[in-house]
Structure 1
Amino acid sequence: MAKLKQLFSPKDMTEGTPWKRIVEFSIPMLIGNIAQQFYNTADSIVVGRYVGDNALAAVGSAGPILNLLLVLFVGISVGAGIMVSQYFGAKEREKLSRTIGVCITLTAIASIIIMIIGPLVTRPLLSLLNTPSTIIDWCEDYLVIIFVGIAGFAYYNILSGILRGLGDSLSALVFLLVSTVLNVGLDIWFVAGLNMGVAGVALATAIAQAISAVLCFIKLMRMNSTFDLNLKMLKLDKKYTSKLIKLGLPSGITQAIFSLAMIVVQSLTNSFGEMVIAANVIIMRVDGFAMMPNFSFGAAMTTYAGQNIGAKKLDRVVKGTKDGTRIAVIVSTVITILILIFGKYIMAVFTDTKELVDLSMSMMRILAVGYIAVAVTQSLSGVMRGAGDTMTPMWISLITTIILRVPTAYGIAYLTRSAAYPTGRPESTFISLLVSWTMGAVITLIFYQRGNWRKKGFAGKA
Structure 2
Amino acid sequence: MNDRFMRERPILPLLLSMAIPNMVSMLVSALYNIVDSFFVARISEQAMTALSLVYPVQNLINAIAIGFGVGVGALISLSLGAGDRAAAENAAGKGLLLSTVHGVTATVCSIALMPAFLRMFTQDREVISYGTQYAAIAFSFSVIIMLGMTFEKIFQSVGWMKGAMLSLLCGCIANILLDPLLIFGLGPFPALGIAGAAIATGLGQCITLAVYLLLTRCRPLPIRIGRTRLRPDPQRDLRLYTVGLPAALSLALPSLLVSFLNALLAPYSPLYIVILGGYYKLQTFLYLPASGTVQGMRPVIGYNYGAGEAARVHRIYRYALGINGLIMAAGTLICLLFPRPLIGLFTDHPATLSAGETALRIISAGFLASTVSVTASGALEGLGKGPQSLVISLLRYLVVICPAALILCRRFGPDGIWHAFWITELLTAALAAWICRRALPAAPSPCSAPQKGI
Structural RMSD (CA): 2.1
1:372 is aligned to 368
Q: Which residue of 1 aligns with 2:415?
A: 427
Q: 2:140 — aligned with what? A: 148
Q: Deviations over 1:119-156 (max 9, x none)?
A: 11111111223464441211111112111111222122
Q: Which amino acid aligns with 2:208?
A: S
Q: Alpha-carbon deviations, 1:42-65, whole Å to 9, x = none?
A: 21111112x122211211111112
SS in 1 for 2:159: coil
User: Shift of residue 69 of structure 1?
Assistant: 4.1
Q: What is the alpha-carbon distance in structure 2 between the residues aligned to residue 439 and residue 363 of structure 1?
A: 20
Q: What's 2:451 paired with?
A: none
Structure 2 counterparts to residues 300-315 of structure 1, below 5 A: 300-315=296-311
Matched, 1:201 2:197: yes
Q: Compute the TM-score of the two structures, normalised by the length of structure 1.
A: 0.89
Residue 236 (structure 1) shift: 4.7
Give the 5 Å matches for 1:410-449.
410-416=406-412, 425-449=413-437
Residue in structure 2 matching 1:401, options 373, 379, 397: 397
The answer to whether residue 17 in structure 2 is matched with residue 17 in structure 1 is no
What is the match of residue 317 of structure 1? 313
1:13 is paired with a residue of what secondary structure?
Answer: helix
Aligned to 1:126: 118
Single out whichever of 107-116 and 60-69 deviates more from structure 2: 60-69
Residue 262 of structure 1: CA displacement? Answer: 2.0
- The alpha carbon displacement at 1:101 in A equals 0.3
How far did 1:67 drift?
A: 2.1
Q: Gaps (5+ residues) in structure 1?
A: 1-5, 417-424, 456-462
Partner Cα separation in structure 1 for residue 29 and residue 232 of structure 2: 30
Q: Name the structure 2 match of 1:253.
A: 249
Return 390-399 or 108-117, whichever deviates more. Answer: 390-399
**Residue 102 of structure 1 contacts residue 237 of structure 1 at CA under 8 Å; is this kept in 2?**
no
Give 1:332 deviation, angstroms.
1.5
> Equivalent of 2:107, from 112, 115, 139?
115
SS in 2 for 1:135: helix
CA deviation string 1:307-350 (max 9, x = no partner): 11112111111112122212221232122112222333333333
Distance in 2 between residues matched to 1:67 and 1:17, nearest whole Å: 36
1:137 is aligned, of 129, 150, 160, to: 129
Change (3 A) 1:141 1:236: farther
In structure 1, the residue matched to 2:325 is 329
Matched residue type, 2:152: S
Q: How does 1:207-222 map to 2 (within 5 A)?
A: 207-222=203-218
- Aligned pair 1:271/2:267, yes or no? yes
Task: Give the C-alpha shift of residue 243 in structure 1.
Answer: 1.2
Other-structure match for 2:94: 102
Residue 162 to residue 271, structure 1, CA distance change in 2 (3 Å): farther
Supply the distance in 1 between the matched residues of 2:61 and 2:225 (Cα, whole angstroms).
29
CA deviation vs aligned residue, 1:367-397 (integer Å, no higher than 9, x gap): 1131211212111222221111111121222
Matched, 1:390 2:379: no
Identity of paired residues, percent? Answer: 21
What are the superposed Cα offsets for residues 235-263 of structure 1, whole Å, 9 maximum, x if unpaired?
Answer: 45323211101121111222333322221
The separation in 2 between residues aligned to 1:354 and 1:430, in whole angstroms, is 19
Kept in 1, the 8 Å contact 2:32–2:173? The answer is no
Letter in 2 for 1:448: C
Worse-matched range after superposition: 405-414 or 201-210: 405-414
Is 2:52 aligned against 1:64?
no
Residues 65 and 125, structure 1, Cα contact 8 Å, conserved in 2: no
Range with bigger deviation, 247-256 or 169-178: 247-256
Q: How far apart are 1:111 and its partner, in Å?
A: 0.9
Residues 64 and 252 of structure 2 are in contact (CA less than 8 Å); yes or no, is this contact kept in structure 1?
no
Residues 209-257 of structure 1 deviation map (CA, whole Å, 9 limit, x = unaligned): 0110121133234554611122212445323211101121111222333
| Residues 453 and 431 of structure 1, relative CA distance in 2, 3 Å threshold | farther
Point out the more displaced range, 335-344 or 134-143: 335-344
Alpha-carbon distance between aligned partners in 1 of 2:246 and 2:320, rounded to the nearest angstrom: 24
- The alpha-carbon distance between structure 1 residues 80 and 266, as it changes in their structure 2 partners (threshold 3 A), is same
Aligned residues of 1:34 and 1:292 also touching (Cα < 8 A): yes
The answer to whether the 8 Å contact 2:145/2:205 transfers is yes
State the number of aligned residues.
Answer: 439
Contact kept, 8 Å, 1:26 with 1:296, in 2: the verdict is yes
How far apart are residue 10 of structure 1 and its match?
Answer: 5.8
* Structure 2 unaligned regions, length at least 5: 444-454
Q: Does structure 2 retain, via aligned residues, the 8 Å contact 1:130–1:267?
A: no
- The offset of 1:21, in angstroms, is 1.1
C-alpha offsets along residues 15-73 of structure 1, whole Å, 9 cap, x if unaligned? 22212211111111011111112332221111112x12221121111111222344432
In structure 2, how many angstroms separate the alpha carbons of the residues matched to 1:446 and 1:279? 34
Assess if the C-alpha contact under 8 Å between 1:300 and 1:382 holds in 2.
no
Residue 350 of structure 1 aligns to a residue whose secondary structure is: coil
- Asked whether the equivalents of residues 376 and 389 of structure 2 are also in contact (C-alpha less than 8 Å), the reply is no
Instruction: Please tell me whether the aligned partners of residues 310 and 441 of structure 2 are also in contact (alpha carbons under 8 angstroms).
Output: no
The alignment's TM-score, normalised by the length of structure 2, stands at 0.91
- Distance in structure 2 (CA, Å) of the matches to 1:88 and 1:343: 45
Instruction: Give 1:302 deviation, angstroms.
Output: 1.7
Query: Contact between 2:275 and 2:356, CA under 8 Å: does it hold in 1?
Result: yes
Q: Does the 8 A contact of 1:90 with 1:310 survive in 2?
A: yes
Distance 1:181 1:374 in 2: 29
